[in-house]
Amino acid sequence: MIGMTDIATLIRSLPKAELHVHLEGCITPEQLVTIGQRNDVNSFESVETARAAYNVSTLGEFLGIFARASEVLLYADDFTEVASAYFDTAAANGVRHVELMLDLQAHTTRGVAVDTVFDGLARAQNYAFNNGLSTSLIVNFMRERDEEEALQLLASLESYRSQIIAVGIDSAENGHLPRKFTKLFQEARKMGLRLVAHAGFEGPPADIEEAIDILQVDRVDHGNRVYEKPELARRLGQLGTAVTVCPRAEVELGVVASLADHPIRRMLADGMRPSLHSDDPAWFGSIVENYIVLAQEIALTRSEVFQLVRNSFITSFLSTPALGLYLAELDAVERSLLSKK
Ligand code: ADE
Ligand code: ZN
């Protein structure tokens, strides 16, 4: 095993894909106050009060403040500003490809037009592309809202198809089964979109089964509670299921007891294909911070770090040629490190 400073440097320098990060989860307390004041939607008087409200310990509390933060985004420029700032930080952290989640209903239900959201994000995506970062969007639908609304919104996304790579579900899990969105996922598949689902975070392992068997997702977001059902964990291992794991969110929202108890090493050993992500960087730190805290706590080896980073590309929705380039780059870095041993 190598020293912790070395592992942190390695993590920062390796090319990575970020597959689980919510646009609205990128709104910092500073942006919340500045954009809120500019738009006259004011949630919070000062950065300090906003920062204090960011202290949460359950998914329910988190979703409350996440909704309040989302409310300050009104105009295309607001979406551009938040996404571009996140893309800058991601690129500085070695991220090369982002599949950015968007809670579209957090905006449309307040009267913000779909055009406004996608126009603002298109500008940020172009800006990122010019800085060497490839990006696409995952439109997440809120589990507590009904499928009919989601179907209507999905139909309105045809003109933004080139910006979107996938559809998912997120928000409140308890009492809102994945199967509620069976038709939505069938329609999205017909549109050629890929499929993801937050499952097994707050809700039970049965939600992961529904996401896989009924919604037929390409990736499970979080999936921590899989180990409450050993036969399901074995099955996901055999399937090589892609799992986007967000260690700090999972610990801070009480889904995993502590970083030391995080199931990541078990997921890797059992044949799943986990990778690490930030979820909501304004609350839970950047992707690199998530890697580093977990690596330090459970002494991830260099080869485990490479495996996680490799998984982030393998389980991304990148084209085959782009994927090949990133994997070749990672292989070259790994070989050069081995030769220096
Ligand atoms: N929205 C943003 N982050 C989320 C999470 N971790 N679970 C559900 N909904 C979310
Ligand atoms: Zn999430």
Torsion of CA 166, 172, 176, 180, to 10 degrees: -20
Cα 221 to averaged position of ligand 2 atoms, centre (Å): 7
Decide if 329 is inside a domain: no
Decide if 335 is inside a domain: no
Counted domains in the chain: 1
Supply the pLDDT for residue 338. 85
Supply the pLDDT for residue 1. 46
What's the CA gap between 141 and 311, in Å, rounded?
25
**DSSP letter assigned to residue 280:** S
Q: Which residue from 171, 207, 221, 251 has its CB within 8 A of the most atoms of ligand 1, so it is best to mutate? A: 171
What's the CA gap between 132 and 179, in Å, rounded?
38
Decide if 328 is inside a domain: no
> Looking at 84-133, which runs of residues are DSSP E strands?
95-103
Decide if 152 is inside a domain: yes
Tell me the residue type at 96.
R
Domain containing 159 equals 4-317
Decide if 330 is inside a domain: no
Determine if ligand 1 sits within 6 Å of the CB of residue 280: yes
What is the CATH classification number for the domain harbouring 213? Answer: 3.20.20.140
Per residue in 149-202, pLDDT (tens digit) is 999 999 999 999 999 999 999 999 999 999 999 999 999 999 999 999 999 999
Close Cβ partners of 130 (under 8 Å, ≥ 6 residues apart):
none
Residue carrying the six token digits 């930080």 = 89
What's the CA gap between 57 and 122, in Å, rounded?
33
Decide if 173 is inside a domain: yes
Q: Which residues of the chain have pLDDT under 70?
A: 1-5, 341
Per residue in 257-268, pLDDT (tens digit) is 999 999 999 999
Nearest CA to ligand 1 atom 10: 171
Determine if ligand 1 sits within 6 Å of the CB of residue 199: no
Residue 158 tokens read as: 């045809």
Which ligand gives the minimal distance to the CA of 142? 1
Q: Which residue from 142, 143, 246, 280 has its CB within 8 A of the most atoms of ligand 1, so it is best to mutate? A: 280
CB distance 139 to 99 below 8 Å? no
Decide if 218 is inside a domain: yes
Decide if 326 is inside a domain: no
Supply the pLDDT for residue 42. 75
Q: Which atom of ligand 1 is nearest to the CA of 25?
A: 2
